[in-house]
Chain A
Amino acid sequence: MLRINRTELLGGLVVLFFGLYFFIGAHDYRMGTAARMGPGYVPYVLGMIQCGLGLVITLGAFGSSEPLRRLEWREMLAVTGALLAFALLLPRMGLIAAISATTAVSMLGNRDWKVLTILLCAAVMSLLCWLVFIVLLGLPMQAFRSPF
């Protein structure tokens, strides 16, 4: 049976994807000549090299096997969701609301989360950030803001 190292295979395909994206994208820009290179020249060459490397990695995947590392959905979604909550809430509702939400969402990444701990941490964190970043450092952010 043909054995395939899925980590390497996927890795090679990701590299190939980036290579192709920039290689094909380079055609939208003027290429120029070697003596007078246009904006497309270097991304074109780099994209080509990246495609080559992607192929090498993909081919290297055949003949051995290694289990894929598990993707931790919960942790990833909690952390990125926390950042997203901050980006969405800060300009609309101000720092206190944004930090409370960020803290709460990121804490959901822990499997044994408890409502009380989250509420307490969110309160402490938003107070702390308000004190440090607005009162002490005077960053141009509003503590409260009406969404309407």
Chain B
Amino acid sequence: MDLLQNIMIGFETALSFETLLYCFIGVFLGTFFGVLPGIGSLASISMLLPITYYLDPVTALVMLAGVYYGAEYGGSTASILLNLPGSPSNAVTCLDGYPMTQQGRAGVALFVTTIASFVGGTFGIVALYAFGPLIVYWALAFGPAEYFAILLFGLVAASTVSQDAPAKGLAMVVLGMLLGTVGSDIDSGVPRYHLGLIELRDGISFIALAMGLFGISEIIMSVRNSTSRPFIQKVTMRSMIPTREDTRQSILPMVRGSSIGTFFGVLPGIGPSIATFVAYAIEKRASKTPERFGKGAVEGIASPEAANNAAVQGSFIPTFTLGIPGSPAMAVMMGALLIHGITPGPQLMTQNPQIFWGLAASFWIGNVLLLVLNIPLIGLWVRLLKVPYHILYPAVVCFVCIGVYSVANSTFDVIMVILFGVLGYALRLLRFELAPVLIGFILGPMLEESFKRAMLIFRGDYMRLLERPISATLLALTALILLWTAWTVVRDYRKRPSRA
């Protein structure tokens, strides 16, 4: 069996004492950061990226996968115990998780979260094994025109579909793309927008951008809002055992959530947070007792948490088969891979199968380690939640400094983090969503390259993009999304009662 062999290759690559050790460190640090209120999984990964710099790519990814799962779990812990979601995908968990805590069932909620994540992740990885090779086979025939169309589709979808303010989402994607043009032009080697600085000739450091936009701006936002701490429930191992009723009630929601999550994860640009909201809504509708939702229904945690992880694992599919990150977290992962000199895309699977399948396995391993390690460690994390934030955040700031500095042993990147931190903070105050900036920053240069190549082949005739069936379909879909968004904006503007 070819598929089985591939799966074996993957686990052989990803399973070694060293990778497991780093994965453990990743899960541990990720949970540490995730538990801190206001710091989401994206910020955690960004802040821990520099540590993986010296590792080989597979180990680095396994560790980042651990960080991601740890941070998501940490975020769920904060959501369930304190009603403080660390990221949008955790927000749904608050709805029923916090009421469960108030009923003294925090342990069960945390346990169901872990199991649901595991089930969702498993679903996603099975989908990857099933569809990945098919998509790669199909994508190998792609030319620059198809790439241009699919990148454009991904960028537009990422910035409009799940956003409240689509124009602002699009503006953030374009901002990311503009920042991506800084540095040497691929064709001519001309340095662009380098402000006369040698350090900027290679472009803006991805780590500095991610850390400033997410890490620093989140720290600034959370310094003030988290000085007082409510009472925190004690969580023991014993209190985590679900009742038979809980188990029965959460099995089907986990399966449903996993399917929904996998579906949304595969679509490029539509991240896990929308999957969790859809999963919650469907679960509430499917339930015979919808009135229990929001009052501590265990299904209300099981389904979105499963959907979240299934979507994350599912977004591996566009990331690694097409080179288009399916979610912001994947965009960061892809940035990490690019730093290591690996370009995700259809060639990756044919040329470096051990890396492709190793990476596919790595996220699942991160999930399993989370299960094995964090259930016994829950007491530690609850204790960490009790440490006042004003003692914790200086440690995080120091960590960021050393991390950024150690990447290139230069203080220039630390200065860049300050600039992007201030920019990110200002944009947050103006209610901009920051994840699209990162997606634009990573995909922008790729879009530019494929656009240039396509136009070279087509001798500058834009219309010929519409002659090829795949690119024409994707461009039509992109246009549809834009038209539909424009229509909803106009409709909402008309409906606005304040316009007197």
Q: Are B395 and A14 in contact (CB under 8 A)?
A: no
- The chain B residue with its CB closest to the CB of A36 is B456
Q: Are A125 and B394 in contact (CB under 8 A)?
A: yes
We find that the number of chain B residues with CB closer than 8 angstroms to chain A is: 66
C-alpha gap A139/B69 in the complex (Å): 27
Which chain A positions have C-beta within 8 A of B216?
79-80, 83
Which chain B positions have C-beta within 8 A of A140?
409
Interface centre among B415, B430, B461 (most CB of A within 10 A): B430
C-alpha gap A109/B192 in the complex (Å): 37
Encode contact with A along B172-189: 1 for CB under 8 Å, 0 otherwise. 001101100100010110
Given contacts A14-B426, A53-B174, contact A91 B460 (CB under 8 A): no
C-alpha gap A140/B409 in the complex (Å): 8
Q: Are A80 and B174 in contact (CB under 8 A)?
A: no
Given contacts A30-B188, A129-B402, contact A22 B178 (CB under 8 A): yes
Q: Does A82 contact B (CB under 8 A)?
A: yes
Q: Does B4 contact A (CB under 8 A)?
A: no
- The chain A residue with its CB closest to the CB of B499 is A63
Interface residues of B in 104-134 (CB under 8 A from A): none
C-alpha gap A15/B390 in the complex (Å): 34
A65 to B: closest C-beta gap in Å: 7
The dominant DSSP class at the B interface is helix
Q: Are B426 and A106 in contact (CB under 8 A)?
A: no
C-alpha gap A140/B402 in the complex (Å): 11
B207 to A: closest C-beta gap in Å: 14
Q: Does A136 contact B (CB under 8 A)?
A: no
Q: Does B251 contact A (CB under 8 A)?
A: no
Q: Does B220 contact A (CB under 8 A)?
A: yes
Interface residues of A in 76-131 (CB under 8 A from B): 76, 78-80, 82-84, 86-88, 90-91, 98-99, 102-103, 106-107, 109-113, 117, 121, 125, 129
Q: Does B411 contact A (CB under 8 A)?
A: yes
Q: Are B430 and A29 in contact (CB under 8 A)?
A: no
Q: Are B429 and A68 in contact (CB under 8 A)?
A: yes
B412 to A: closest C-beta gap in Å: 8
Given contacts A11-B432, A15-B171, A106-B394, contact A86 B456 (CB under 8 A): no
Sample of 14 A–B contacts (CB below 8 Å): A11-B168, A11-B432, A22-B181, A25-B193, A38-B188, A39-B185, A57-B171, A79-B421, A80-B216, A83-B400, A86-B401, A86-B414, A90-B401, A102-B397
**A interface, CB within 8 angstroms of B:** 3, 7, 10-11, 14-15, 18-19, 22, 25, 29-30, 33-43, 46-47, 49-50, 53-54, 56-57, 60, 63-65, 68-69, 71-72, 75-76, 78-80, 82-84, 86-88, 90-91, 98-99, 102-103, 106-107, 109-113, 117, 121, 125, 129, 133, 139-141
